[in-house]
Structure 1
Amino acid sequence: MTETSPSIGDMMTATVPMARTLNLDFVETTPERAVVRLPDQPDYHNHVGGPHAGAMFTLAESASGAIVMAAFGDQLSRAVPLAVRAEIGYKKLAMGPVTATATLGRPIADVVAELDAGRRPEFPVAIAITREDGAVTGEMSIVWTLRPNN
């Protein structure tokens, strides 16, 4: 699927209430990379004035969902994408707006081939969360699956 960021971003904000709540900006969404920005919003700050850990988790998970939709949206008639497990590490203090950049950890063709073979493929998505100065403030890994509809 070769959707542009507005269509994936619009779809994500229409179907995922937390993406709307946090005012996430889907900057770029392709099958190779998704970039999502969380603006600086005092309502979602933590005790030190930066984005709350839960907001950063949601940002990263949303970036992973955007790349999954871009890569596998053409499979939705036969499978539903679901997050299986996630791990996040907070590396540095995040202040101001933060951006999550997601990349797929397996080739799309390999995942689709497993689905074609009647299996339930799993695949990792890696996400880096950065401040405006480029410093990595967090890293997340999410394993997704395509659960066949049958």
Structure 2
Amino acid sequence: MSQDVAFVADAMKQAVPYVKTTGIDFEEVSPGRVVATLPDDPTLHNHIGGPHAAMMFGLGESASGAVVMAAFAAHLAKATPLAVRADISYKKIAMGVLRAEAVLGRPVEDILAELESGARPEFPVTIMITNAEGVTTGEMTVVWTLKPAR
């Protein structure tokens, strides 16, 4: 039976002020994959008229956080998800609306088994950032951990 994670989009907007401020929207949410978009807003632009690099990073990190929240929604009383580190590569000049697809890099069951064994698991989320034409403008990896609740 699949868990309903439809609440994640609204929860991200309520729990993470940055998401609401920038207008990030979550188009698809599942425990293994999230698609988020960043609007083409001039207040988020850089000196050449496209989304600022910080906005691209924020979109990717927010998408990764949403997939982690969706994947571990039923276990948030046991552990707090935290970003450990991130790496981003800017591939092409980004213009217009951007789309970030975040994919969980390890099976949820393996991560939970590691947590249950007393370890603090780390796991990657890979993110592909594309423009409206589907051209890859950035690639990103965010490594997350589950910090056991005390």
| Same fold? TM cut 0.5 | yes
Tell me, in whole angstroms, the C-alpha distance in 2 between the residues paired with 1:95 and 1:2.
Answer: 36
**Aligned residue in 2 for 1:56:** 56
TM-score by length of 1: 0.97
Tell me, in whole angstroms, the C-alpha distance in 2 between the residues paired with 1:130 and 1:2.
Answer: 28
Verify: 1:98 aligned to 2:94, yes or no: no
The SS at the match of 2:60 is: helix
Instruction: Give the RMSD, CA atoms, in angstroms.
Output: 0.9
The SS at the match of 1:109 is: helix
**Aligned residue in 2 for 1:19:** 19
Deviation for aligned residue 1:75 = 1.0
Tell me, in whole angstroms, the C-alpha distance in 2 between the residues paired with 1:144 and 1:28.
Answer: 20
TM-score by length of 2: 0.97
Is the 2:29–2:67 Cα contact (8 Å) retained in structure 1? yes
Deviation for aligned residue 1:4 = 3.9
Is the 2:5–2:31 Cα contact (8 Å) retained in structure 1? no
Deviation for aligned residue 1:2 = 2.5
The SS at the match of 1:118 is: coil
Deviation for aligned residue 1:73 = 1.2
Q: 1:123-138 to 2 correspondence within 5 Å?
A: 123-138=123-138
Tell me, in whole angstroms, the C-alpha distance in 2 between the residues paired with 1:103 and 1:29.
Answer: 10
Tell me, in whole angstroms, the C-alpha distance in 2 between the residues paired with 1:102 and 1:19.
Answer: 15
**Aligned residue in 1 for 2:122:** 122
The SS at the match of 1:65 is: helix
The SS at the match of 2:140 is: strand
Deviation for aligned residue 1:148 = 0.2
What is the aligned-residue identity percentage? 55
- Report the residue type matching 1:149 in the other structure: A
The SS at the match of 2:72 is: helix
**Aligned residue in 2 for 1:41:** 41
Unaligned runs of 5+ in 1: none
